[in-house]
Amino acid sequence: MGLIQNVLAVIVVLGLLITFHEFGHFWVARRCGVKVLRFSVGFGKPLWSRFDRHGTEFAVAAIPLGGYVKMLDEREGPVPADEQHLAFNHKTVWQRIAIVAAGPVANFLLALVAYWALFVAGTTAVAPVVGEVAPDSPAAQGGLRSGQEITAIEGQAVRSWEDVNLELVSRIGASGVLEVAARAEASSVPRSYQLPVQDFMVRQDPPRPLQTLGVSPWRPSVPPVIDRLAEGEPAAAAGLQSGDRVLAVGGQAVDTWSAFVERVQASPGETLEVEVERNGETLSLAITPRDREQADGGSVGYIGAGVASVSWPEEYLRDIRYGPLVALGQAAQRTGDMTLLTLDAIRKMLMGLISPSNLSGPITIAQIAGDSARSGLESFVSFLAYLSISLGVLNLLPIPVLDGGHLLYYVVEVVRGRPVSERAQAFGLRIGVALVGTLMLMALYFDLMRLW
């Protein structure tokens, strides 16, 4: 079921993003007087199609992960003399720039609308309250303490752990001190703390900003009550049931879910005597956690049991909601921030500060799309907005075969006063295909490595 949900989620996400991207090209092409021959959602053989009064074929094709807009163009086939004024290659360079740029711009507009809808509808975020501070960590050296709420990173206000993580990720590679403002629970006035960092999160896979600083988010105490059980895993096989409350493991009492997890993870292959309370009775079960490999090559015990959810105290939640006009400004700022963050990540990957193993391909995108869909509409829309920005940024990279490569040719044409030669464009196309193909293979390889 999870695999099916992931596949459906990624089809919906990529289908929507690519369709919106191609609609940007289509809408501007029409207004520049270019005849559009086909607008296809998906690749391959059309499953459905119809023609409008302009002679454009709108089609839904068999392979849903993609789409394209085909325009009248003498470079792709003969054009009748009475229609040459409708061909793409006969338009001015500024019209061609507008048509090509419209696709990525459409993705940024989609992200803007998505963020605007989230801010108007309102979101509930967990306040960035520090739970634990690891000894001798940068946070401890800087003076951060448990119970403080982080209010700003390097002067940028933060209201949630998502804000904190975004600000920290944007500072990968930093050395020196990281300025963090935080306030105690009983105080409304934040203090500034200087956290020493050196090559902050360089080449981490994946980046772990909070762990690197030595900070753990505050979480409510979670009692060790079983909620979900995975079929075929040790917990279900041993007779554990939903609603069971774990009392002790190996004769040692446990009163929190984290304590229970620690005991299980530390005992792969070891049979544990687990005492549980069920319907007022105490039962003893023998459970043998199986080995589960970690990304770093180690292994931990795993039994396939999930915990019952608990409610967060109201004082630890932040309601983020704006009026329609203010939300528009906030959405524009978030879209701009995420765009700059994506560009900065690409720059740092080229500099070697971010490991290329952080590249994500279709498998990882499908997993995240499925997880966000299961987490609720708010999470799904937020992921959709971020992926739309990523698609827009990537398409603007000056690589032949991408929109950014075509824009590069047109900028050169503006400067030189004449188009780039067909021979140069063909050579650039081969380079572009090689680069994009290499990136796709790398992303797929790292996807498979994460699965294994």
Does a structural domain hold residue 32? no
- Are 137 and 97 within one domain? no
Residue 370 lies inside a defined structural domain of this protein: yes
- Asked whether 36 and 70 are in contact (CB, 8 A), the reply is yes
SS3 state at 72: coil
Least confident of 228-232, 330-334, 364-368: 364-368
β-partners of residue 149 are: 129, 183
DSSP code per residue over 373-435: HHH-HHHHHHHHHHHHHHHHHHHTSS-TTSHHHHHHHHHHHHHHSSPPPHHHHHHHHHHHHHH
Residue 187 has pLDDT above 80, yes or no: no
Same domain, 344 and 431: yes
What distance in Å separates the CA atoms of residue 184 and residue 55, rounded to the nearest whole number? 67
Q: Is 13 helix (H, G, I), strand (E, B) or coil?
A: helix
- Give the separation between CA 420 and CA 410, rounded to whole angstroms: 8
Whole-angstrom Cα Rg for the chain? 27
| CATH code assigned at 281 | 2.30.42.10
Q: Tell me, what's the pLDDT at 228?
A: 85
Q: Residues 143-164: what's their mean pLDDT?
A: 93
Strands 130-133 and 215-217: antiparallel
Residues 175 and 240 in one domain: no
Does 155 share its domain with 109? Answer: no
- Secondary structure element (H or E) that encloses residue 176, with its range: strand 176-183
Q: Indicate the DSSP class of residue 225.
A: B
Residue 147 lies in a domain: yes
pLDDT at 144: 93
Please check whether residues 165 and 205 belong to one and the same domain. yes
Whole domain around residue 362: which residue ranges? Answer: 93-122+322-452
Q: Which of 217, 251, 270 is the last residue of a domain?
A: 217
The whole-number average pLDDT for the span 43-47 is 86
Which of 189, 217, 245 represents a domain boundary (last residue)? 217
How many domains is the chain partitioned into structurally?
3
Same domain for 211 and 163: yes
Domain closes at, from 307, 336, 365: 307
349 and 438, same domain (yes or no) = yes
Residue 110 lies in a domain: yes
C-beta of residue 264 within 8 angstroms of C-beta of residue 289: yes
Beta-strand pair 281-287/290-293: unpaired
| Residue 132 annotated to the active site | no
Per-residue pLDDT at 2: 59
Same domain for 164 and 268: no
Nearest by Cα to 46 from 23, 72, 67, 30? 67
Residue with structure tokens 């409510």? 220
Least confident of 7-11, 255-259, 440-444: 7-11
Which residues, 6 or more positions from 375, have their beta carbon under 8 angstroms from its beta carbon? none
208 and 230 share a domain? no
